[in-house]
Amino acid sequence: MGDYDGATVLFDLDGVLVDSMESVRAGLTAWAAERGLDVDEVLEHSHGRTDIGLARLVAPHLDPVEEARRIEAHEAAAGDGVRALPAALGLLTELDARGRPWAVVTSGGDRIARSRLGTAGLPFPRVLVTADDVTEGKPHPEPYLLGAERMGVAPQGCVVVEDSPNGARAGIAAGMPVLAVATTSPPSELAHATTVVADLAAVARLLL
């Protein structure tokens, strides 16, 4: 029995269930070049942020809604590199087999999230919260609070699985324990999470 047995699991998508780094980097690099922005700065600030939030930060002179559409289009065009992370399919399948509720709460838009889940061959969640559903993205708690609400459970009945410092902050701010996987960030940058583990296999041992 895991430490979080029975909790509703709210998964981040990119870097937790799917490896989309190649697609994200290619899309953001293309957008930065198109808009004359510093590529390194764009990539540095992108992790765990919505595209609108990123545009507001690195391109405040541009319309963030329009720029989010452009970023999404670039990332969709570079979507061939998306794949499921090791243990993702097995973990989701086992949660379903045990009747354990789970959802996906991502900073990506709805179109991108659905495409990545399909490309990676992962089951579709009963509840999917994307950047299109919220006013404030991570590190604000709104995405995870909305995930809990749509799952019909109190925040304290959830556990968040995240890979980014911003995402972990969002889960903590929502009043939820956070299992952070060090797949895209070093453990030192995730120290504010409840527990930091190496990969999804370790997450599975805690959840199941």
For residue 61, give both structure tokens.
Answer: 């002179």
- Compute the chain's Rg from CA coordinates: 16
Distance CA 160, CA 52 (A): 23
What residue type is assigned to position 96 of the chain?
D
Q: What is the pLDDT of residue 1?
A: 44
Q: What is the pLDDT of residue 93?
A: 97
Q: Which of 5, 14, 38, 96 is catalytic?
A: 14
Taking Cα atoms as reference points, which of 153, 152, 103 lies closest to residue 130?
Answer: 103
Q: What is the pLDDT of residue 111?
A: 87
Q: Which of 5, 12, 132, 163 is catalytic?
A: 12
Per-residue confidence in pLDDT tens, the chain, 208 aa: 467 889 999 999 999 999 988 888 888 999 999 999 999 999 999 877 888 999 999 999 999 999 999 998 888 777 667 899 999 999 999 999 999 999 999 998 898 899 899 999 999 999 999 999 999 999 999 999 999 999 999 999 999 999 999 999 999 999 999 999 999 999 999 999 999 999 999 999 999 9
Active site residue 110: no
Q: What is the pLDDT of residue 46?
A: 87
Q: pTM to 2 decimals?
A: 0.85
> In the 3-class helix/strand/coil scheme, how is the chain assigned residue by residue?
CCCCCCCEEEECCECCCEECHHHHHHHHHHHHHHHCCCHHHHHHHHCCCCHHHHHHHHCCCCCHHHHHHHHHHHHHHCHHHCEECCCHHHHHHHHHHCCCCEEEECCCCHHHHHHHHHHHCCCCCCCEECHHHCCCCCCCCHHHHHHHHHHCCCHHHEEEEECCHHHHHHHHHCCCCEEEECCCCCHHHHCCCCEEECCHHHHHHHHC
φ, ψ of residue 77 to 5 degrees: the values are -70, -20
Q: What is the pLDDT of residue 123?
A: 97
Active site residue 12: yes
Q: Which residue carries 């700065």 as its tokens?
A: 41
Q: What is the pLDDT of residue 79?
A: 61
